[in-house]
Amino acid sequence: MKSTMALGLFLITIVALLAGGGACGGGEKEPSSPLPEQNLPPVFEGLDSAAAIDGAYLLSWTAASDDTTPSDRITYHVFASADPSITSFDLASPLLTVTGTTSAGISDLPPGGRFYFIVRACDAQGACEQNAVRQTERTFGLKTAPNFRDLGGYVNAEGKQIQWNRVFRSGELSDLDDRELAIVNGFRFGRIMDLREPAEIARDGADRTYSGNEAIYDLLGFNVGDPYLLAAPVDPANPLSQLLWDVRQVDYPNWYVNVLESNRDGIRRAFERFADPLQYPILFHCTQGKDRAGVVSALLLMLLDVPEDEILEDYMLTCRLTAGDIEKKLDLIASILPSLSAAPQGITAEDWRPMLSCHEEAMSNMLAHVRLEYGGIEGFLESIGVTIAQQEAIRDVLLSE
């Protein structure tokens, strides 16, 4: 995604209403009068990309096609709202209307807000396409927390959408600047779950959001899962002690199976929170927002019946968002390793790259493990103490028609 977020996340919702039929007139119809042919709405795939640049929004899409109206005469109505619910949009008053083009610029929305958009493609007779809800951006452009993002917007196998502004995932939040802190606190989270272990919090610092929000915090202390890493020595007083690990011994293909099975109690506690409507909005995070947060995200999306390819795409998004941070960390490791005489023989900074990278195979293996060993997500959650009633409560609070 090439768009950048100058004003925080804006979400793009593509919805249209089918044109209603006219009222029936009175009297008998002439037997010889043919029935009018039904006018089909345009075929519209929706928004391709969007960007917030210097206070303006740029939306773009692929041209709609229609059986009677040429593409250069198809009209696009753009609507905006600060609330993602469909009822919040005034569909009688478009913010902007354009004809025969595949982009629209919007520059007169209030600064500092988060906006949602609806685009309708209509033919010359007024028939408008009905589209599924979609989104092209879910991130907020936080420089110190690039993986902070909304899990809303995914559409499940039944066509139901995960609601926006309900569940968020992230990496650590200890380095937020004041502007970013205001953005995160602006969501007024009802529950924040820090999945890091106490030693990690001591090493990297508490979230900046923790101060003043202690009552809504859960420190769940997920471990890193991998057997080698769990047995590796750690000196809490020496942050460099982790660089003495031989990360070449990590079982990457089974990493998330191990995270799953070694954090059953923490996962239960997280899903108990998800089942309580009074806890929302909810934010959960670990250090990078990739492994432990990735497993929790995948399980939640699995419960909501999001297709597996979308679950894997959401997981892989982490490493696209944090690519710059990964390279900075590798450069730092490369600069430090030569000074560590106790470092494993022959190890290089590149040997650390898999530790910081995303492993689609590992996440796919975890999803398969849940299906094969437990008969599916419902069976796994029941095995750790999350009841069927709680699972239904999660679906009820997060899914919309």
* 310-340 core/surface letters (b: 16 or more CB in 10 A; e: else): ebbebbbbbbebbeebbeebbeebeeebeee
pLDDT of 208: 92
Q: Does 120 share its domain with 170?
A: no
Q: Amino acid identity, residue 313?
A: E
Identify the CA nearest to 286 among candidates 184, 174, 168, 194.
194
User: Hey, how many other C-beta atoms are within 10 angstroms of the C-beta on 90?
Assistant: 10
Classify residue 29: in a domain, yes or no: no
Identify the CA nearest to 337 among candidates 228, 236, 246.
246
> Exposed, middle or buried, 293 (CB in 10 Å: 0-12/13-18/19+)?
buried
Half-sphere exposure of 71 (CA within 13 A, CB side): 9
**Cα 397 to Cα 384: distance, rounded to the nearest angstrom:** 21
Residue 357 banded pLDDT, cuts 50, 70, 90: very high
Q: Does 230 share its domain with 360?
A: yes
Q: Does 85 share its domain with 217?
A: no
CATH of the domain at 329: 3.90.190.10
Of the listed ranges 17-26, 91-100, 321-330, the one predicted with least confidence: 17-26
Give the count of domains, the chain.
2
The percentage of the chain sitting over the pLDDT mark of 90, rounded to a whole number, equals 56
Dump pLDDT digits (tens) for 269-278. 999 999 999 9
CATH of the domain at 94: 2.60.40.10
Could you tell me which residue, 287 or 235, shows the higher pLDDT?
A: 287
Dump pLDDT digits (tens) for 128-184. 886 544 444 677 888 899 999 999 988 899 989 898 889 999 999 999 999 889 889
Structural domain of residue 186, as residue ranges? 149-400
Classify residue 24: in a domain, yes or no: no
End-to-end distance of the chain based on CA atoms, in angstroms?
A: 27
Strand-pair category, 191-194 with 11-12:
unpaired
HEC letters along 20-51 = CCCCCCCCCCCCCCCCCCCCCCCECCCEEEEE
Of the listed ranges 71-75, 106-110, 220-224, 259-263, the one predicted with least confidence: 106-110
pLDDT at residue 26 greater than cutoff 60: no
Dump pLDDT digits (tens) for 48-79. 666 665 567 778 888 999 989 999 999 998 88
Of the listed ranges 5-19, 34-48, 247-261, the one predicted with least confidence: 5-19
Among the candidates 86, 116, 137, a domain finishes at: 137
State the pTM of this model: 0.74
pLDDT of 45: 78
Alpha helices in 209-307 (DSSP H): 227-231, 255-262, 264-274, 292-303
